[in-house]
Structures are given as structure tokens and as C-alpha cells.
Amino acid sequence: MRNSFLKRHWRIILPIATMGAIFCLELIPYSAWRGESWAIPIIPILFALLGASWYYYLRTLSSFTPGFTFCGSLLLASAFAIFYVFYRNFSHPDQNIIIFEILILTAVNLVGIIIFAALHYATRSQSQKQARRKQIAKIWAKNAKLLKKPKK
């Protein structure tokens, strides 16, 4: 049983590793890399990667529909963005929590998810598309049976 769990959920390593990388960059003193030109786009790129990796992980779980996958990955990545901004406020008390920064990180998450979803849908083969449609139809049929009212 454990082996099948690992086979199915190994993809969660990517979002966890991305979140770890973001926090590792936060542990470096901000003044040490603030003026470096390479450091400016690192955090937004990592947040875009975080959104895409959550989308990739949720997409591989077979029971999720595309809409839920999109919204779920955006919710998870945005929750981490909020947590990250609050953590940074506590670790650097001189900085204020700015709602605008949370919105920017959420928008970056959204861009990462959209880019990955577009690439994912563009590169699928026709047989993969048909298999996914059948799988989703099966899930919806099962849910419809559960929601059906019994006849009197």
C-alpha cells in the first residue's frame, strides 16, 4: 500500500521543494542580495513555478476536474503567498504588510498556472484527451447517481 501511495503522490515533491527554496531565499539577509541584478526576478519566478507545480500535482490526481484543479492550485499557491508575506513581516519588522504585494504574488501564481495549463493542453495527444474525457464523464455519472433523488 505504501508503494502505491508513493507512486501516486511523488509529484508533491515539486511544490514542497519550491516552497522550501522560497524560504531559503528568505533566510539570506535581504541586504546581501538586494542590489544584485540576478535576485530581482527570482521570487516572482519561484511563485510562478509554485502555482504551476501545484497545478501539475492536482492535475495528476484522477478524481479532480479541470476547474477544480485550476481553482485548487490557485488557492494553495495564494495561501502560501499570504503566509509568505506575513512571515516576512514578522522576520523583518521594518517592512509593512502590503495587500498589493499579496495581490502581485497571487497574480504571478495565476500567470504560472495559466502558462502551465496552456502548455499541458497544447501538448496532449488525441488519445490522452479522449481518455480524460471518459474519465471525467465516469466521475460525473457516479456523482449524478449519488445526487439522484429516490422515487416515491
- The type of residue at 130 is Q
pLDDT higher than threshold 60 for residue 34? no
Cβ density class 77-99: b for 16+ within 10 Å, e for less:
bbebbeebbeeeeeeeeeeeeee
pLDDT at 74: 94
| Residue 4 CA: distances (Å) to CA of 1, 7, 8 | 5, 5, 6
Under the phi-then-psi rule, with left for phi > 0, alpha for psi from -120 to 50, and beta for the rest, what region is 96?
A: beta
Predicted model pTM: 0.75
* Assigned C-alpha cell, 11: 509529484
CA angle 119, 44, 99 (to 5 degrees): 120
Cα-only R_g, the chain: 19
End-to-end CA, the chain: 43
* Assigned C-alpha cell, 144: 449524478
* Assigned C-alpha cell, 5: 501511495
Which tens digit of pLDDT belongs to each residue from 44-63?
A: 899 999 999 999 898 887 66
pLDDT higher than threshold 80 for residue 145? no
* Assigned C-alpha cell, 84: 509568505
Which tens digit of pLDDT belongs to each residue from 69-126?
A: 899 999 999 999 999 888 888 777 666 667 888 899 999 999 999 999 999 888 877 8
Distance of CA 127 to the CA centre of its chain: 26
Q: Which residue has the higher pLDDT, 43 or 34?
A: 43
Kindly list the domain boundaries of the chain, sorted by start residue: 2-124
Which tens digit of pLDDT belongs to each residue from 68-82?
A: 889 999 999 999 999
